[in-house]
Structures are given as C-alpha cells and as structure tokens.
Amino acid sequence: MKIIYIANLRLPTEKAHGIQVMKMCEAFAQQGNELELIIPRRINSIKDDPFDYYGVARVFRIRKIPCLDLIFLDKYIGHLGLWVESLTFFFFVFLHIFSKRADIFYTRDKFLLSLALIKNNIIFESHTFPKNYFLYSPFIGKLRGVVVITHKLKDILVGRGISSHKVLVSPDSVDLAKFDIKETKEQCREKLNLPSGSKIILYTGHLYRWKGAQVLAEASSYLPKDEDVYFVGGTAEDIKKFSARGGSALGGKINIIGHRPYAEIPYWLKAADVLVLPNSGKEDISQYWTSPLKMFEYMASGRPIVSSSLPSIKEILNEENAVLVEPDNPVALASAIERVLQSSDLSERISAQALKDVQNYSWDKRAKNILWFYQKN
C-alpha cells in the first residue's frame, strides 16, 4: 500500500506535533507500506536531521516542497505570514499530488481538506474542532474517514452530520521502547546534572496557558523548600511570557530548563519523583479535545502522575493510574503532589498501573488500527 502523508510543519520542531507525525510515518511504514512525507521547505533554526532528532528509522521518504515562508515576520504582520505560508504550500501540494496515485492521502491539516475535491481517499486526523467549521464541512463529508483523538471530538462531528462509521477515535501514543530505559533515577540525575538529595516535580511540554504550567508554578509556593519544580520545554518566546507572568518569581524553587532534544526526555522523566499534567479547564481544547503526548510518555516512564481531572484526560487516566485533582487549583495541586511524595505505596501502585495501561497505546497499534479503519471504509 502506498501512503502520502502531507504535513504543514517545520521538521524538526520543538512542538509535539513533530513527534506525532514522524512516529506515525514510521509506524505506517513498518507495517510494510511505502510512505512519503510531504512537508514545506521552511526556515528552521533546528538543523538536525529529522530521523536522527526523533530517533526514527529511515523507512520512509521526506520530500520538501516550496512555500513562501513569512511566519518569521509574525511580529510585524501577525497571522498574515501563516496564511501566506499555508496557501502557497497548498498550491504546491496541489501541483505535486494532482496526478499522483496513492492508496491513502493522510493529513492533519484543515487547509488541505479541499483536496477531497480531487482525491477520494483522504483521511483527515483532527486534534481540535475547526473554527469556522462551515468553511470545511463541504469537504469533510467527502473524506474517506476522519481520525480524532477524543470521544468528544467524534460526538461533535457526528452531531454535525458526519456518519459515525467514518469517524475513528484513536488517542495519541508513545514509543514504549524509547521510554523503557535501564538507568535508575539516580543515574538519570547524574546524567542531567540534577541534585540527588531533593524531590523533583517535573512538567514537560509547552507553556501555553491551557496547558496549565502557570498553575504548577503557583502551586510551587505551597510546597516545601526541599522540593524543586522543573519545567522542560517551551520556545524562547513562551519562556519569556511565562516568566513575565510570574512563572519564575513565585514562592518555591522553580527551574525553567527550556527546550531539550527529544532523545533526552526519557531521562528527565525517570529522574523525577512526580510528573505533573496540570491542564487548565478553562478552554475547550483542554477540557475535551486534547490527548497529550506527554501523558503517554509519563505513563511509560513508570513514575507517578498527578493530573487535572478533565474529560479529555480521563479518557486515559483514572484513580487507579494517577492522582486526579481539580483543574486550575494550585492548592489542590500542591496537596496532591505532597500526597504522592509522602506515600510510597500510592506512588508505586499508580505508577505500576499506568505502565500496564500504556501498553495499549503504542504507535504500532495505533497505525494498525487506522489502517484497519481505512480498509473497513
């Protein structure tokens, strides 16, 4: 089977969608399929080879096609740069695939949905409900299928008239082998030059408001002084905004590490005493639509998880494999962290259950499920 995956993104990128796209391409290809990943030729400060950066096998081809990349001028022209880049990428994608044959054209890009007018075998993977849905609805009905990451997203699409058999719920996943590292917590701390004597509370990922990193920063003021809070991830611009909101100036010890190579993340997770998923409940994307990659990475690391209790998160986490707390409540979050740190029985029980549960969420299983869905439709 031949698959053409079209993704409008920089590769490599510091954002999680880069991991997801590369891992899915690898998983599709390892099912014995021929796969070509089409991406725009964009300005990128990360010069690493994408296969090396993400630790992905070279079992598929990456093709870069032209676009007019003005996104770096966003400070001056706002969203115009994104629109210009997206529209010019779409134009060259159209030229590239117009006469190309493939069994599946796969994309996460709503800008590319109109390709359904010329191809009848497009699968669209949706991670949010599109704004201005009416602009895209004529094309969604013509798709071979839609893959969504939460049940709420499926419910919304079905409520808008999309046949339920054309929508597959498939949460995100994790590379189980990559996060099953042999090093101990102490060895990981030594590798990362982290203090051996303190308790480490860790958050990985971006610092957007809906991710709830600010809530964890505020919770740090309610934690004992020998407990360090680490934030690993975020762009330079996001770190600046996060710090301006008080992310590095509240009570408690906060350490903002910034973006780290993806290959390093398993060691950060293993080095921690508690992993925190503090998503805010104030936005729909967090409440209903997200399936965070970090959640599955946390589970695969074998470390205890404290998480916001939200419908999206509770599709995977529960009281057996995590400690769930009221979102946007720093006091409750700090109390839950302390509860885990003070009870080794609780910590070991939820860690073991999370590690057991996450075995169902490998990229390989996800790819097989999506291919079965395609063949069924």
Give the model confidence (pLDDT) of 340-376 as tens digits.
999 999 999 999 999 999 999 999 999 999 999 999 8
Sign of CA dihedral 47, 364, 323, 349: negative
- Residue whose tokens read 């115009």: 80
**Residue 98, Cβ density class (10 Å: 0-12 exposed, 13-18 middle, ≥19 buried):** exposed
Dig out the tokens for 318 from the structure.
Answer: 């529960």
Q: Report pLDDT for 137.
A: 87
Give me the percent of the chain exceeding a pLDDT of 90.
82
- CATH architecture of structural domain 176-360: 3-Layer(aba) Sandwich (3.40)
Q: Reply yes or no on whether the pLDDT at 127 is more than 90.
A: yes
- According to the model, what pLDDT value does residue 251 have? 44
Confidence category of residue 132, pLDDT binned at 50, 70, 90: confident
Question: Which range has the worst mean pLDDT, 23-27, 68-72, 239-243?
Answer: 239-243
Confidence of residue 246 (pLDDT cuts 50, 70, 90): low
Q: With a cut of 80, say whether residue 250 has pLDDT above it.
A: no
Q: Which residue has the tokens 């740190």?
A: 341
**What is the residue type of 3?**
I
Per-residue pLDDT tens digits for 280-329 = 999 999 999 999 999 999 999 999 999 999 999 999 999 999 999 999 99
Partners of residue 61 on adjacent β-strands: 36
**Distances, alpha carbon 249 to alpha carbons 25, 134, 255, 256, 263, in Å:** 41, 44, 10, 11, 30
186-211 pLDDT, tens digit per residue, is 999 999 999 998 999 999 999 989 99
pLDDT of residue 370: 98
Give 98 or 320, the one with higher predicted confidence.
Answer: 320
CA–CA dist 327, 212 (Å, integer): 8
Is the pLDDT at 185 greater than 50, yes or no? yes
Q: Enumerate residues 6+ apart whose C-beta is below 8 A from 163.
A: none
Are 92 and 65 spatial neighbours (Cβ–Cβ below 8 Å)? yes
**Cα(95)–Cα(93) distance, rounded to whole angstroms?**
5
Contact call for residues 325 and 306 (beta carbons, < 8 A): yes
pLDDT at res. 307:
98
Asked if residues 225 and 254 have their Cβ atoms less than 8 Å apart, the reply is: no
Mean of pLDDT over the chain: 93
Using the predicted structure, report yes or no on whether residue 234 has a pLDDT greater than 90. no
Residue-wise pLDDT tens digits, 145-175: 999 999 999 999 999 999 999 999 999 999 9
2-173+362-376 fold: Rossmann fold (3.40.50)
Between 251 and 202, name the one with better pLDDT: 202
Alpha-carbon Rg of the chain, whole angstroms?
A: 21
- What band does 66 get if pLDDT is binned at 50, 70 and 90? very high
pLDDT at 372: 96
- Is residue 306 helix, strand or coil? strand
Q: Is the model's pLDDT at 141 over the cut of 90? A: no
Ranking 20-34, 66-80, 254-268, 286-300 by mean pLDDT, the lowest is 66-80
Q: Please compute the mean of the pLDDT values over residues 7-15 and round it to a whole number.
A: 94
Q: What is the pLDDT of residue 197?
A: 86
Kindly state the percentage of the chain with pLDDT values over 70: 98
Least confident of 81-90, 101-110, 231-240, 278-287: 231-240
Q: How confident is the model at residue 249 (pLDDT cuts 50, 70, 90)?
A: very low
* pLDDT, tens only, 82-94: 999 999 999 999 9
Residue range(s) in the chain whose domain bears CATH number 3.40.50.2000: 2-173+362-376, 176-360
d(CA 238, CA 253): 19
Question: What pLDDT, on a 0 to 100 scale, did the predictor assign at position 245?
Answer: 64
Q: Which residue has the higher pLDDT, 188 or 254?
A: 188
- For residue 282, give both structure tokens: 């104030």
- What pTM was estimated for this model as a whole? 0.94
